[in-house]
Chain A
Amino acid sequence: GAVVSQHPSRVICKSGTSVKIECRSLDFQATTMFWYRQFPKQSLMLMATSNEGSKATYEQGVEKDKFLINHASLTLSTLTVTSAHPEDSSFYICSATGTGGGFSYNEQFFGPGTRLTVL
């Protein structure tokens, strides 16, 4: 149980285009999903927290107009990188926390990640 998927796993796009990444909780309901970015040989940096049915909260330094987050249902959150540029190339990972019995308060389940390359 507690599986999180991401789609696509890898995407290459031209500079200036927008890219949408999906994060799904497959067998549980996730009220909160987190989006992280990881540059090569660096740790995960939290970008934003997404709560179902409300606006995402962004970490300091993350442009909310560039990284659009939508959490329309309890199993799906999307991250759209708008007008992508080469410096946006990175590994994007989402995580989700479950609700109800059987889940610890802060137990996060991570997706497999999406590698974005902007040419």
Chain B
Amino acid sequence: SQELEQSPQSLIVQEGKNLTINCTSSKTLYGLYWYKQKYGEGLIFLMMLQKGGEEKSHEKITAKLDEKKQQSSLHITASQPSHAGIYLCGADKIGGAQKLVFGQGTRLTINP
């Protein structure tokens, strides 16, 4: 079965520091999505990556998909308290007709 593994599972960072979250797939990714979730709330779409080597940025968040399309990283520069939350990677389920599978999430805490 297709699985997504995120690391680390939790991360505590000092405000202003950079951080990286990884998402690794057991199979080739055809569509990789990054979402942010605040506890007890819905998901906020951040970025979607499809091509090997693709990189996208939005404000201080950059996401990359490796050339082999099996690993993605999310990098936050100069972290702020507003970045705190749970980051989830999701991927198109192979043969799944628009279905998504998700990683287990990375809980990010920003200390002032």
Q: A43-B88, A49-B99, A104-B48 are in contact. Are A110 and B104 (CB under 8 A)?
A: no
Interface residues of A in 86-100 (CB under 8 A from B): 91, 93, 95, 97
Does residue B82 face the partner (Cβ distance < 8 Å to A)?
A: no
Question: In the complex, are the beta carbons of A93 and B42 less than 8 A apart?
Answer: yes
Question: In the complex, are the beta carbons of A107 and B104 less than 8 A apart?
Answer: no
With A4-B42, A93-B43, A115-B40 known, 4 other A-B pairs at CB within 8 A are A32-B98, A46-B100, A49-B98, A105-B98
Interface size class of B (residues with CB under 8 A): 20 to 34
Q: Name B's interface SS.
A: strand
Does residue A112 face the partner (Cβ distance < 8 Å to B)?
A: yes
Question: In the complex, are the beta carbons of A106 and B92 less than 8 A apart?
Answer: yes
Contact string against A for B residues 91-105, beta-carbon threshold 8 Å, 1 for contact and 0 otherwise: 010000111111111
Question: In the complex, are the beta carbons of B105 and A110 less than 8 A apart?
Answer: no
Residue of B nearest to A109 (CB): B45
Chain B residues with Cβ below 8 Å from A41 are: 105, 107
Does residue A11 face the partner (Cβ distance < 8 Å to B)?
A: no
Chain A residues with Cβ below 8 Å from B102 are: 43-45
